[in-house]
């Protein structure tokens, strides 16, 4: 990106000139071979992302900044520089602004998924939180699911870190509710992973989030059940039946454990899961 000269700036609005000059200097720093200049550029970028919403929008729209941050994260730079770049990615997705289309077009979701594997657990935790924020809208949720985020989150359920488990189950819960629905082929593995988690973990927040995710998953497949009952052999795509949910929950005493939990925040979604399983016509229940 070329620097804005005084001649170029003539006749342009002052705010636009300031934005262009700031962005040009930041891009020049990010493209530098000197780590000190890169660090300065990222730190300045983070300040502007947090202080100037207009700059944030224009910087993402430019299509220049995110690829440069990705390049630093994939390169041979120091851990400190990569950590600062990861934090800049987080700052580019504000908690209170609805920028779904811009976040998607900028490939920030894909970058967040890479940061789930960053060698610093707090970065992984923040990346999940940002994915959760993006997934709060139907458009964002659909795109996050398309990017295979659920697979990455289910893998995190095998970790021991409670903070990561809390954030992972919370994000899975958000991805599991509303529309668009989780693809049917993903439902059964998700239920199995969540069931395994609740039998091996006693953290209240993890249990609560996992229960709500199980409830949303078990209640979001009714449209496929009738077809499953009418002709199992005629369905060409994977379908999760009500019996799949029942067997997934009752092969191990998941519900029994949850219903005995002293916390109402755990019992409430557990009861809803049971209600969701019992819902349906006689044919569905028989299966």
Tokens encoding 76: 């041979």
Same domain? 79 vs 103: yes
> Domain of 114: which CATH number?
1.25.10.10
101-153 confidence digits (pLDDT tens): 999 999 999 999 999 999 999 999 999 999 999 999 999 999 999 999 999 99
Tokens encoding 89: 């990615």
pLDDT under 70: residue ranges of the chain: 1-18, 219-261, 265, 270-287
pLDDT at residue 224 in the model: 42
Same domain? 273 vs 200: yes
- Its domain, for residue 203, covers 155-225+239-280
Q: Which of these three, 118, 147, 176, is where a domain ends?
A: 147
Same domain? 160 vs 276: yes
Q: Give the phi and the psi of residue 241 in degrees, each rounded to 5.
A: -90, 170
Please check whether residue 198 lies inside any domain of the structure: yes
pLDDT at residue 8 in the model: 43
pTM tops 0.95, yes or no: no
CA dist 186 and 45 (Å) reads 38
Which residue matches tokens 């989030």? 209
């Amino acid at each position: 990106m070329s620097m804005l000269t005084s001649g170029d700036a003539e006749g342009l609005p002052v705010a636009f000139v300031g934005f262009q000059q700031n962005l040009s200097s930041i891009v020049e720093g990010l493209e530098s071979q000197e780590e000190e200049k890169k660090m300065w550029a990222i730190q300045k970028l983070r300040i502007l992302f947090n202080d100037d919403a207009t700059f944030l929008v224009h910087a993402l729209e430019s299509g220049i900044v995110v690829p440069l941050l990705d390049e630093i994260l994939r390169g041979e730079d120091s851990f400190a520089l990569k950590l600062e770049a990861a934090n800049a990615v987080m700052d580019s997705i504000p908690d209170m602004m609805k920028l779904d289309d811009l976040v998607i077009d900028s490939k920030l979701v894909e970058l967040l998924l890479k940061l789930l594997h960053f060698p610093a657990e707090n970065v992984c935790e923040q990346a999940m939180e940002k994915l959760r924020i993006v997934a709060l809208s139907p458009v964002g949720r659909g795109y996050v699911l398309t990017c295979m985020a659920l697979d990455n989150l289910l893998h995190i359920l095998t970790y021991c870190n409670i903070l990561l488990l809390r954030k992972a189950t919370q994000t899975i819960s958000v991805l599991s509710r509303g529309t668009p629905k989780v693809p049917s082929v993903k439902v059964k593995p998700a239920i199995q992973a969540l069931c395994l988690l609740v039998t091996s973990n006693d953290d209240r927040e993890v249990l609560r989030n996992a229960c709500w995710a199980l409830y949303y998953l078990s209640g979001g497949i009714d449209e496929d059940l009738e077809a499953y009952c009418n002709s199992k052999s005629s369905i060409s795509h994977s379908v999760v039946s009500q019996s799949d949910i029942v067997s997934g929950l009752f092969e191990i005493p998941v519900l029994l454990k949850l219903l005995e939990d002293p916390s109402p925040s755990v019992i409430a979604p557990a009861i809803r899961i049971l209600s969701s399983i019992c819902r349906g016509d006689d044919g569905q229940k028989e299966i």
